[in-house]
Amino acid sequence: MKLKSLLVIAVLALGCSAAFAQSYTFGFENYNGSELYCNYEVFTYDGYLAAGVDNLTAACGGVVDAPTVGAKTSVPKAEGLGQTGAAVAFADDLYDSLYGFDTQEIWFVISELKAGTGKHPKQGWIGLAGYDGYIAGSNAGLLTLSIPGANGKKATAGPSIGKASLASVKAARASKK
């Protein structure tokens, strides 16, 4: 009887926590909003943990979407990343999903929970490419509610990795040897 009661309590707890989770979908634009990258993020956030996908199939021509998992964070202004305040930090399997093999690289994204608005929206995301303990490149920009492929919106750039391409990660790897 105790095991059955414990199971019922666990199911209720999971159901209640899922009820408080919120889902988000954001597109990625470059630093001034003039380019819309072809990938976009979709995730569920429960106030601390987040999980979702970096959508590479809708407008990037990818075969699979990249899984993401992360947690709440806060970035101090003193770090100089441009991305400041409360956000969600994600490990993103973008490279492996794009290239179709285990690249040994990781794309790490810090994303706010609301899109930029007004004439001069502030930076809403930053992505860092990593390999073997080194940051091999980065990109950053504005979060938007514009989703490539939806409502006639066309992507004007490739994936949000920008200059942090697989080639830059491979160059970092070669310089380490």
Q: What is the mean pLDDT of the chain?
A: 85
Q: Is residue 107 part of a domain?
A: yes
Task: Answer whether residue 56 is part of any domain.
Answer: yes
Residue 152 lies in a domain: yes
Look at 8 and 93; give whichever has higher pLDDT. 93
Whether residue 85 lies inside any domain: the answer is: yes
Q: What is the per-residue pLDDT across 31-84, written as a single tens digit (0 to 9) for each?
A: 999 999 999 999 999 999 999 999 999 999 999 999 999 999 999 999 988 888
Residue-by-residue DSSP string for the chain: -HHHHHHHHHHHHHHHHHHH-EEEEEEEE-TTSS-EEEEEEEEEE-SSEEEEEEE-SSSS--SSPEEEEEEEEEE-GGG--S--EEEEEEEE-HHHHHHSS--SEEEEEEE-SS---SSSPPP-EEEEEEETTEEEEEEEEEEES--TTSTT----BS-TTTT--HHHHHHHHHHH-
Q: Is residue 12 part of a domain?
A: no
Number of domains present in the structure of the chain:
1
Q: Among 106-110, 156-160, 163-167, name the one with the lowest average pLDDT.
A: 163-167
Residues 1-22 pLDDT 10s: 454 444 444 444 444 445 579 9
Look at residue 16 in the predicted model and tell me its pLDDT: 47
Residue 170's pLDDT is: 61
Residue 17 lies in a domain: no
Q: Which domain holds residue 29?
A: 22-176
In a domain, 3, yes or no: no
115 belongs to a structural domain: yes
